[in-house]
């Protein structure tokens, strides 16, 4: 195995070790700082990966196929793209057996694949030549069966999130008013 790793310019890094790095960052800094650092590291790595792949490909579709092949071979997980719209720069990414989430307890409240989030953001921003926002909507570490990410141009996801937040607030206000009316009766 050592010869194979040396030949490919790599080293063996256990899933648990990556999780322990995150835990250490949380203890020394904070959960938010840990997330920001891992996302930033991922973004830089995604940008660099795209530049390496771009030397060998001719199309955006081919770049995504190459990315999935490489990362699957490197045991990052089972990656697949869905609902890709190259014109609108939108789509979904599914990661089964995420190296980042597979050793974490399955009881986290929020998404935990910060490195993957940043990696996809960096790679896709380079691929499309415009800022791309990535959100993790499902996470193995939350107890979901797999990790799922959605991507779109930055402004699109911000607007969608603002609309969801507004709708949730309106729903909560309606429910509160209904409860108050029941109490008055």
Residue 64 maps to a domain:
yes
Give the sign of the dihedral formed by CA 55, CA 59, CA 63, CA 68. Answer: negative
| Displacement of CA 175 from its chain's centroid (Å) | 33
Report how many helices (DSSP H) and strands (DSSP E) the chain contains, helices first. 6, 4
Which residue range is the domain that position 120 belongs to? 2-174
Q: How many domains does the chain have?
A: 1
Residue 181 maps to a domain:
no
CATH number at residue 38: 3.30.1380.20
SS3 (DSSP) at 16: helix
Residue 179 maps to a domain:
no
Measured CA to CA, the distance from residue 185 to residue 181 in angstroms comes to 7
End-to-end CA distance of the chain: 74
Q: Tell me: the pLDDT tens digits for 68-113? A: 888 888 888 899 999 999 998 999 999 999 888 887 767 777 788 8
Residue 58 maps to a domain:
yes
| Predicted TM-score (pTM) of this structure | 0.77
Residue 60 maps to a domain:
yes
pLDDT confidence tier of residue 1, bands split at 50, 70 and 90:
low
Residue 163 maps to a domain:
yes
Measured CA to CA, the distance from residue 12 to residue 169 in angstroms comes to 47
Residue 180 maps to a domain:
no
Residue 182 maps to a domain:
no
């Amino acid at each position: 195995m050592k010869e194979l790793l040396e030949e490919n310019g790599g080293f063996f890094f256990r899933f648990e070790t990556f999780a322990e790095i995150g835990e250490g960052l949380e203890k020394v800094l904070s959960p938010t700082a840990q997330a920001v650092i891992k996302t930033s590291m991922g973004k830089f790595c995604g940008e660099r990966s795209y530049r390496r792949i771009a030397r060998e490909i001719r199309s955006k579709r081919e770049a995504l196929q190459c990315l999935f092949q490489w990362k699957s071979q490197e045991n990052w997980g089972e990656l697949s793209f869905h609902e890709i719209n190259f014109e609108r720069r939108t789509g979904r990414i599914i990661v089964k057996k995420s190296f980042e989430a597979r050793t974490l307890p399955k009881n986290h409240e929020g998404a935990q694949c910060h490195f993957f989030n940043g990696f996809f953001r960096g790679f896709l921003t380079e691929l499309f030549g415009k800022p791309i926002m990535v959100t993790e909507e499902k996470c193995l570490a939350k107890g979901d069966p797999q990790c799922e990410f959605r991507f779109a141009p930055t402004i699109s996801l911000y607007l969608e999130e603002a609309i969801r937040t507004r709708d949730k607030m309106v729903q909560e206000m309606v429910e509160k008013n209904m409860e108050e009316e029941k109490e008055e009766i």
